[in-house]
Amino acid sequence: MTENFTKIDKALFAGAKAVRENAHVPYSNFKVGAAILAEDGNIYTCCNVENAAYPQSVCAEAGAISTMIANGQNKIKRLYVIGTGVEPVMPCGGCRQKIREFADQDVVIISHGIDGEPLALTLEQLLPYSFGPENLQVIK
């Protein structure tokens, strides 16, 4: 893990790595874990869950967001995603939009392949020119 990562980053890494082991991936064998630091200071985690109808699977990021919401929180302050391989495991397009719903553009998302180095990018870098909740505000 990169030396300049914070204590929070290390806790997010540990949470994402631990929950990743619980992933249900009988088809792809591609385990992913995600850990969210919410506004309340707690960390919420989830892993990916596949099923035979691939489009109905649950991404780790979407599951972690749901866990955060189920616990009464609605603001992502930082997100860590860890998956199989060397290359950073990036949130899919659908998850990027889900993250956008609950995170500001400057929120850092750390993507990590378990055998490689982590990559930290802002949501704005991952989803430029995005459409978010503020776009639906009524103009007065």
| pLDDT band at residue 60 under the 50/70/90 scheme | very high
The residue that leads in pLDDT, 61 or 140, is: 61
Res 3: pLDDT: 59
Closest CA to 81 of 50, 116, 134, 118: 118
The first and second tokens of residue 107, run together, are: 């929120």
The first and second tokens of residue 119, run together, are: 């990559």
Res 95: pLDDT: 96
Instruction: Write down all domains in the chain, each with its CATH number in brackets.
Output: 7-136 (3.40.140.10)
Catalytic residue among 39, 50, 61, 87: 61
Cβ proximity of 126 and 90 under 8 Å: yes
- Mean pLDDT for 68-97 is 97
Is there a catalytic annotation at residue 101? Answer: no
Res 139: pLDDT: 61
| pLDDT band at residue 55 under the 50/70/90 scheme | confident
Cβ proximity of 36 and 13 under 8 Å: no
Res 137: pLDDT: 81
**Which helix (H) or strand (E) segment is 10 a member of?**
helix 7-20
C-alpha 93: how far from chain center: 12
Total-model pTM: 0.92
